[in-house]
A and B are shown apart, each in its own frame.
Chain A
């Protein structure tokens, strides 16, 4: 009983903290950069990560099995992975983590919000594990899959952002009320000197104004970020699919059954493999691979949620009904 109240309190704390953090981030990006608040938002995300970790650990201790047996628990794990991915750039001291944080933090809060909302209340209680799920492989397979979903979602959202900015560039080149100029100028002011000296060979773009140059720089950054994050997510997805296949072989005797969820995970893998291959050939340009990654966003949601709505096959544990 005490665990469930603790869990309840912690989810509410994390939810409110993350919403405050989101507000601060958007204020930073759109209005003005307030450095003092930026530090506090970083600390607030650390607190959120801590809260979600404690939630997962208490569920683990309370129910005796790794907290990944139904949709509620896997969604909590998803928001935990988003928080972890949010912290990764801080470990390597990258500059300009703002856009990356702007993607991961809202994802964390939206997932956490959906989880704590009234839609899935019947799954909040920790349930027992059916015999087929009582295995060590549960930890590795499902955690890898959820981590990969989180990373691939972040990467595809970055690509969507890239596409939005690119289309805005084509549409409003001379528009004065461009809020993106507020977005870009304070962040990139220090970088312009650096780039002018180094990059003597400009690519085939024509910079009509300083604003377009900043936009080009932002697009390049988003492109690089999305490529890296998607590569990481692809690695986790590969490991997740393969460990699932080995587990299936140990439990039921065949490593691939063309189960809907397995098939959709393979389709996701194929789409992102195509994405990585299009990036090796530079003639295709950034936009095409960004379009691919945006399609990947939809496919991941179908793989994660859509298949569960069918409720059939080996992966019926994740099914739920929206009442």
Chain B
């Protein structure tokens, strides 16, 4: 089960002379050579030929022993790069110029700084929910007055000066977010990507002491490392065997997934920035039967917003109607919309409702609200008259609209009339000149009602639809970021387990670690090690070797 490792094929070379022992002795002579002696010879033999490669190998081994603490890895990298830069003759100025961004990168990718940034972003967000947002300055003068400041020092000067009244677009908050994004980028570049290179190398541990230092270690007397390799392969590990040492891993995706998480977050931030600077937004309340042009309604949000040709489209509200539950509550409201282009040709027609918007040319129309615009009545068989309805009281989702039909002397200052109230488009409640309740009529029934001699027939209640229009170029990017984030967070839940083993005499020394499954890993390893067959006597072991 020797697997060819592309990066270290040079190490598999064997010298033919029996005096010089090669770096990777075959299995027969393994028991006669001590490890340290072997390594010394490797250094002396190969100094002239494979200088660079040896250095890399040493550095690789250094990287194994260091635990996966991210900051230390970047310093190693820095040291390596700086050493090689110094070797080749470069001027000191260029060296200085090269060092400055490295130092900035080093500072930015510090984990404590990132944690501090995240913590302060969280604290600012919490503050933003406590302090009311978007109110007039007078509100803050009253609430955080200088006479009795909150906590003894927090006055309106703090609030307005630091921009806490519009916290989520204030310079402090946005600046912290930019800093966080910069830290993310620096961290991904300096620590995560080298981690990919390290994790992909098959790193063998060649001494028993190094193996015993692992979190989980064990030694199996009278066993063979190849049997262990077979069992590990059966358990789903990828096994690499080089001479007496073995390296196996499982779940490598769990090591790469945090990189994916950080990249997905950067993508979301980029999309969010694009949305904040390049989108259009607007809302409009249109009575049934009227129309509007999209460009009149849409307002630019940021400095990158540029209108498109589709802004000339005219939207016509053909019909607005509502569905009701049996109890009388509103269940859903719908608008039948037609879109006409500049030439008056109808390009699309759709009935939208809440949670079901209309999309055309990058612009989306959402159904968000409704109101009643007018009441159409016949008075004493004359008309029809359109009485506009005004909102009287809003409490949450419950609305009340009313209108007034003056009766009698309309010029006197205290004119009396008939009041009509409606909660929705289903039924209208009528009150007479003294405010006494007279009756309820449904618009479709066309039943007349007589109020002190005036005959009223309610023909129709005309509703108006509340529409929100929006165009947002950043949405596809943000959606892609969302999907990537969900996926990579799922994958990073996998744990990356590594196992090293070394055949030391007749004993196999096994060590391993796992980055997430710290509880299940020892149990799993014990189960697997129990299944390694015991080699009975020396003669059969020699038979395996030969």
A-side interface residues toward B, CB under 8 Å?
92, 94-95, 128, 130-132, 134-135, 137, 198, 200-201, 221, 224-225, 227-228, 231-232, 234-235, 238-239, 242, 245-246, 249-256, 258, 260, 263-264, 266-267, 270-271, 273-274, 277-278, 280-283, 307, 316
> Are A245 and B482 in touch, CB under 8 angstroms?
yes
Contact A253 B482 (CB under 8 A): no
Contact A277 B126 (CB under 8 A): no
**A134/B355 in contact, CB under 8 A:** yes
17 contacts between A and B (CB under 8 A): A131-B332, A131-B353, A134-B332, A135-B355, A200-B212, A201-B213, A227-B518, A238-B489, A239-B486, A245-B482, A253-B469, A254-B470, A255-B478, A263-B129, A267-B122, A271-B122, A280-B111
User: Which residues of B sit under 8 angstroms from A266, Cβ to Cβ?
Assistant: 125
Among B129, B168, B217, residue most surrounded by chain A Cβ atoms (within 10 Å): B129
* Cα–Cα distance between A205 and B81 once the two chains are bound (Å): 38
- Are B70 and A246 touching (Cβ within 8 A)? no
Over the window 137-158 of chain B, the binary record of Cβ atoms lying under 8 Å from chain A Cβ atoms (1 yes, 0 no) is 0000000000000000000000
- Minimum CB–CB distance for A226 against chain B, Å: 11
Q: How far is the CB of A90 from chain B (nearest CB, A)?
A: 14
Of the four ranges (under 10, 10 to 19, 20 to 34, 35 or more), the interface on chain B belongs to 35 or more
CA–CA, A321 to B468, complex, Å? Answer: 32
Give chain B interface residues in 206-231, CB to chain A under 8 Å.
212-213, 216-218
Interface residues of B in 493-508 (CB under 8 A from A): 493
- Point out the residue from A200, A228, A252, A282 that lies within 8 Å of B468, measured CB to CB: A252
Residues of B within 8 A of A251 (CB): 354-355, 366
Alpha-carbon distance A130/B479, docked complex (angstroms): 27
B468 touches A253 (CB 8 A): yes
Within the assembled complex, what's the spacing in Å between the Cα atoms of A135 and B366? 14
Q: Chain B residues with Cβ under 8 A from A277's Cβ?
A: 111, 114-115, 118
A235 touches B490 (CB 8 A): yes
A128-B493 in contact given A228-B516, A255-B478 (Cβ < 8 Å): no
A94 x B122 contact (CB < 8 A): no
Q: Which residue of B lies closest to A254 (CB)?
A: B470
Q: Which residues does chain A contribute within 8 Å of B212, judged by CB atoms?
A: 200-201
What residues of B have a CB within 8 angstroms of the CB of A263 in the complex?
125-126, 128-129
Does B293 interact with chain A (Cβ within 8 Å)? no
Per the bound structure, the CA–CA distance linking A28 and B409 in Å amounts to: 88
Asked whether A281 lies within 8 Å of B118 as measured between CB atoms, the reply is no
Q: Which residue of A lies closest to B212 (CB)?
A: A200
With contacts A251-B366, A282-B69 known, what are 5 further pairs, Cβ within 8 A?
Answer: A94-B520, A131-B353, A198-B218, A231-B493, A264-B129
Q: Which positions 328-386 of chain B face chain A at CB distance < 8 Å?
A: 329-333, 353-355, 357, 364, 366, 368
Considering the chains assembled together, what is the distance between the CA atoms of A254 and B121 in angstroms? 21
- By beta carbon, the residue of chain A nearest B482 is A242
A94 to chain B: which residues have CB within 8 Å?
A: 519-520, 523
In whole Å, how far is A69's beta carbon from the nearest beta carbon of chain B?
13
* Contact A198–B522 (Cβ < 8 Å): yes
Asked whether B91 is an interface residue with its Cβ less than 8 Å from the other chain, the reply is no
Q: State A95–B520 Cα separation when bound (angstroms).
A: 10
Q: Are A283 and B69 in contact (CB under 8 A)?
A: yes
Which residue of chain B lies nearest to A195 when distances are taken between CB atoms in the complex?
B522
Interface flag for B530 (CB, 8 Å): no
CA A98 – CA B400 in complex, angstroms?
58
CA of A281 to CA of B333, assembled, Å:
54
* Residue from A135, A256, A274 within 8 A of B118 (CB atoms): A274
A274-B115 contact in complex given A128-B327, A135-B355, C-beta closer than 8 Å: yes
Query: Shortest beta-carbon distance, B461 to chain A, in Å?
Result: 19
Chain B residues contacting A249 (CB-CB under 8 Å) are 475
Residue of B nearest to A283 (CB): B69
Q: Which residue of B lies closest to A137 (CB)?
A: B355
Given A94-B519, A198-B522, A283-B69 in contact, is the A134-B118 Cβ separation under 8 Å?
no
Closest to A96 in B: B519
Q: Which of A253, A256, A274, A281 contacts B119 (CB 8 A)?
A: A274
A280 with B368: CB separation less than 8 A? no
Contacts A224-B519, A252-B468 given; indicate if A131 touches B354 (C-beta within 8 A).
Answer: yes
Interface residues of B (CB under 8 A from A): 67-71, 111, 114-115, 118-119, 121-122, 125-126, 128-129, 133, 168, 212-213, 216-218, 272, 281, 325, 327, 329-333, 353-355, 357, 364, 366, 368, 396-397, 468-470, 472, 475, 478-479, 482, 485-486, 489-490, 493, 516-520, 522-523
Which 6 pairs of residues, A with B, have the shortest CB-CB distance?
Answer: A253-B470, A270-B122, A135-B355, A131-B354, A224-B519, A242-B482
Most A C-beta atoms less than 10 A away, residue of B121, B327, B353, B478: B478
Min CB–CB distance A294 → chain B (angstroms): 15
B501 CB to closest chain A CB, in angstroms?
Answer: 15
Say yes or no: A253 contacts B357, CB within 8 Å. yes
Closest to B168 in A: A258
| Cα separation A256 to B519 with both chains bound (whole Å) | 38
User: Residue on A with the closest CB to B112?
Assistant: A281
Contacts of B332 in A (CB 8 A): 131, 134
A151 to B493, CA, bound (A): 14
A201 to B518, CA, bound (A): 16
Would you give the shortest CB distance from A95 to chain B, in whole angstroms? 8
B213 to chain A, nearest CB (A): 6
* Complex-state Cα separation, A95 to B119, whole angstroms: 36
Name the contact of B482 in the complex, choosing from A130, A246, A316 (C-beta under 8 A): A246
Cα of A281 to Cα of B515 in the assembled complex, Å: 12
Contacts of B354 in A (CB 8 A): 131-132, 134, 251
- A316 near B396: Cβ-Cβ < 8 Å: yes
CB distance from A293 to the nearest CB of B (A): 14
How long is the Cα–Cα vector from A232 to B493 in the complex, in angstroms?
8
A residues in contact with B67, CB < 8 Å: 282
Contact at B518–A260, with CB atoms within 8 Å? no
User: Which residue of A has the minimal Cβ distance to B365?
Assistant: A253
| Contact partners of A253 in chain B: CB under 8 A | 281, 357, 364, 366, 368, 468-470, 472
CB nearest neighbor in B for A242: B482
Closest to B325 in A: A128
Q: Report chain A residues within 8 Å CB of B353.
A: 131
Task: Tell whether, in the assembled complex, residue A280 and residue B357 are in contact, meaning their CB atoms are under 8 Å apart.
Answer: no
Q: Closest Cβ of chain B: how far from A70's Cβ, in Å? A: 14
- B281, A267: Cβ atoms under 8 Å? no
A199 to chain B, nearest CB (A): 8
In the assembled complex, the Cα of A132 lies from the Cα of B489 at a distance in Å of 29
Q: Which one, A131, A238, A250, A258, contacts B486 given CB within 8 A? A: A238
Q: CA A282 – CA B71 in complex, angstroms?
A: 12
Q: How far is the CA of A258 from the CA of B126 in the complex (A)?
A: 11
User: What residues of chain A lie closer than 8 Å to B133, measured between beta carbons?
Assistant: 258
Contact of A281 with B486 in the complex, beta carbons under 8 Å = no
Give Cα A148 to B243, complex, Å. Answer: 48
B355 and A270: CB pair below 8 A? Answer: no
B489:A234 contact, CB within 8 angstroms: yes
Contact A131 B330, beta carbon cutoff 8 Å: yes
CA distance A234 to B325 in the complex (A): 39
Complex interface: chain A residues within 8 A of B68 (CB): 280
CA of A258 to CA of B166, assembled, Å: 11
CA distance A238 to B281 in the complex (A): 27
Bound: A283/B396 CA distance, A: 52
Residues of B within 8 A of A128 (CB): 325, 327, 329, 331
A209–B523 Cα distance when bound, in Å, is 26
Contact pick for B121, options A137, A201, A270, CB 8 Å: A270
A217 to chain B, nearest CB (A): 12
- Given contacts A131-B354, A135-B355, A266-B125, are A224 and B518 in contact (CB under 8 A)? yes
In the bound complex, residues from chain B placing their C-beta under 8 Å from that of A135 are 355
Of the candidates B216, B357, B469, the one whose C-beta lies within 8 Å of that of A250 is B357
CB within 8 A of A130: which of B397, B468, B475?
Answer: B397
Give the residue name and chain of the B residue nearest to A223 (CB).
B518
- Complex Cα gap A228–B495 (Å): 11
